[in-house]
Structure 1
Amino acid sequence: MGTHVIKMPDIGEGIAEVELAQWHVKVGDLVVEDQVLADVMTDKAMVDIPSPVHGKVLSLGGQPGEVMAVGSILISIEVEGAGNLKASDQLVKEPAPIKEAAPAVAAPKVEAAPVLESKPAAACRPAPQAPVARDADERPLASPAVRKHALDLGIQLRLVQGSGPAGRILHEDLDAYLAQGTQNARSGSAPSGYAERHDEEQIPVIGMRRKIAQRMQEATQRAAHFSYVEEIDVTAVEELRAHLNEKYGATRGKLTLLPFLVRALVVALRDFPQINARYDDEAQVITRHGAVHVGVATQSDVGLMVPVVRHAEARSLWDSAAEIARLATAARSGKAARDELSGSTITLTSLGALGGIVSTPVLNLPEVAIVGVNKIVERPMVIKGQIVVRKMMNLSSSFDHRVVDGMDAALFIQAIRGLLEQPASLFVE
């Protein structure tokens, strides 16, 4: 038997170190060739590290959240034959086997993960279960999404039996726990909903959540944010959207408001090139872009991601709609590639029906503008002396005052307002 050492690979782009985000194996596991061992995170995306060999895991080279240098030992695997352990590797002190920590979140992968056989949800759902006894300081295995779901439901994870690999708690396990609680309630054994709670949970800020936190902090510290809010009457554009969906929805697909907003950005930016720009504040250089690469902020289980609709200026409404849907699906499923998550020149962010009345979005550096969309509400408005019901929506947008003057920002949003209130002008060349 020999030892095969896998080192942190050179992912490219001049990266010297990466963050170890998640282990998919633990010491003692048997692994096969091409099985994903770990996820590591660069500044742009998550990358799978597959196994090049069959064997047994001897040691892991770091904890989730640890920043590791390219070339450092990531994992050691016992293999048949001599292995690849060299004299130079033997001089490196092997890390002691570590306890598996709570894994970081899954995020966009660059290399394709092995295809797993899927099962119907009903077949995978565990049976109702009784509470599990764990020590108060024992941290059960669960993804951040499952932890948040449990918190929302008021479930203590240490009481839940996990049915996933290595006892990992899945969403289905929470359902089974609730089902057991319902049975207990019917028998009169459920605890009171007014009982005191003293549990608490510490969640390491690692992986994608760490990157989001760093980028938000950097954006607020480096850019001179200012926000501008304008009210828009979207009655006409919503009527046009409904008409197009009725006539072409079955053959071309349904349109949301987002493709119209993308089109309005494209047209308005022709007169405001200083807003379709990226600012390198270290080099003191502003780059204005002819191409409009629109980042569309997308919420996923691992946090906020911004996939990019490239060359929006060359896309029709339906082309934009299809690309937005494709990118959103890729981001939420963790399959967006690195180049799909970078290179935007302006960002569009929307919370849909939860958009509230007003917001103050944070810039997606090094861009100098972000356009925020609030929810649509019906309100009485006075038009030509008559009170009529109209569909109204606010745009809450932020700009980098180092690059964009207040007057230009206001005129830009007013231009978008004019285009959306007279939607035929979106298509006049």
Structure 2
Amino acid sequence: MTELVEHRRRYPVERVPESSLHAVFRASRRWTDTHGREANALHVGEPAFAMPPAAVEAMRRALLDGRCAYTSAEGMPELREALVAKLAAQGVGTTADHVFVTPGSCQGLSAVGAAVHTPGAAWLIPRVHWPIYRQQGVLNGYDVAGYPLGPGYALDVAAVARTATPATRVIVVNSPANPTGAVADPDALRELLALATERDWLVVSDEAYEDFVYEGGHPPLAALEADVEPARRRVFSAFTFSKGYAMTGCRVGYIVAPNDEFAGLLRRVQEGSIIAPPTPAQIGALAALGDGDAVRANVAAVRGSRDAAMGALVEAGLIAGPPAGGWYALLDIASSGHTATEFADRLLAEYGVAVAPAAAFTVPGDPSTRTVVRISFAGDRTRLLEGTEALLRACRTWGGERAAGRA
């Protein structure tokens, strides 16, 4: 008699961590379905402003005129040339051959990771980070490690140097940062670039929130190697139309490769994966590039919401000061007597306000975010202020309950 043995297949992708952010999305949706009204979604980075009318009209015309054919894997030449001009104004000298339009910067980041992967390589990311960095590192076969950040979540190059190993191949930098709102000091970026050159690392700079800097300026990291001959450059830059232009669901971004060699590697990945970026979205992006006033208005709106909400949060001791950039703030709700997960669950259940426990943005087991949650201040200002008032009220009420219980 033949005995049948059930074999459990093991797939490498099982090592990819699931994003706990999606659990917050699902919980918020269940609350909405149960109560018949929308939960206050402070957990999600969806802007209150709409995409520029010129982009909407350009996409509409493209669809009506049947402009839906394939472009090249790199994207439309007209859009790439326009992006070269935009980058030149920011101090980044490049050519259209090095610019790749992508279905969102997320796909572009993943494509870079695949393009430069070598067996046994390590992928170094901030210890507090956008969770997709860790997912993509594992998906592309890297060993993933997190480097510590300094006070105020600042870039600490000495900590990066201590954390790296001989296997480190790629380091990811995000400024302005999600979820911290920190903006890296240009001197620290220069120091990091010098370290990467010394140790022959590649650098992936996520510039998604490039426009949302509220104090001073912020040059793209690639601008700091403008004087380096192209063959020796090492910075890949990732940009998106999702933030400044509010084209979140259109899924259009772009990657800038440092030189011909790396552009050739990236081209192979894109040809073998996306075939081509979506044509109507590219046409909309090209139209959006001409509307700098829309971006400036959007930045002003988000800054105004940040300023309106942060005063009370700072006064209550939940955050040291307003974030210098980006769309998000990390709040320490230890005064509530709850962990971040307990607080988020209870805040949604009792107040209908959804926030994201910051454990979603850290390496596993990191104790620094045990009582930290993330909120977005890019959404509707009225809802933001309602949500933060509920959050503050919950901290006071639940903290008082805890204190009374100890008395």
Report the TM-score range of the alignment, normalised by the length of the smaller protein.
under 0.3
Higher relative helix content: 2
More RCO (CA 8 Å, sep 6+): 2
Structure 1 or 2: more strand by fraction = 1
TM-score with structure 1 length normalisation?
A: 0.26
